[in-house]
């Protein structure tokens, strides 16, 4: 599965459990360790973990390895390493604090048909 297919699968899995403000950043020209960052918000530690669980399950069912998961017990910021796709699932306060989109502002956003455009997001 290529990075675009993994991205779509991760985004769909996040949206199934009502993740908010889902964006995908094309970082392949800016990063040596990933092609895409997917960033999503869960409203609570429980929802952040549910989003992470949904993404992990979708990857397992597709036969894709999950190389690592960090931050799951706390549920404030869960990072899921899918090799060429890195998924960040944040609670709102953590997302605002770390502001991945600003840090990687040179990365173009990928079109996600089911997600709200970035300019419509409220932080």
Handedness of CA 14, 16, 21, 22 (dihedral sign): positive
Q: What is the pLDDT of residues 74-108, one digit of tens each?
A: 999 999 999 999 999 999 999 999 999 999 999 99
Please name the helix (run of DSSP H) or strand (run of DSSP E) that holds residue 20, with its range, or none.
Answer: strand 20-26
Rounded distance between C-alpha atoms, residue 101 and residue 37, angstroms? 9
pLDDT of residue 115: 52
3-state helix, strand, coil split of the chain in percent (to 5) is 35, 25, 40
Model confidence, pTM: 0.88
> Tell me: the pLDDT tens digits for 20-67?
999 999 999 998 899 999 999 999 999 999 999 999 999 999 999 999
What integer pLDDT is reported at residue 121 of this predicted model?
41
In the chain, the domains with their CATH numbers are 3-114 (3.30.460.10)
């Amino acid at each position: 599965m290529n990075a675009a297919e993994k991205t779509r699968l991760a985004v769909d899995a996040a949206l199934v459990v009502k993740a908010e403000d889902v964006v995908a950043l094309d970082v392949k020209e800016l990063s040596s360790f990933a092609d895409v960052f997917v960033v999503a918000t869960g409203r609570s530690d429980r929802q952040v973990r549910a989003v992470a669980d949904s993404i992990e399950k979708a990857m397992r069912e597709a036969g894709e390895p999950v190389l690592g998961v960090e931050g799951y017990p706390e549920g404030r910021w869960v990072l899921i390493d899918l090799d060429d796709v890195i998924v960040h699932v944040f609670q709102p306060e953590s997302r605002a604090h770390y502001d991945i989109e600003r840090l990687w502002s040179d990365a173009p956003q990928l079109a996600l048909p089911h997600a709200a455009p970035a300019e419509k997001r409220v932080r």
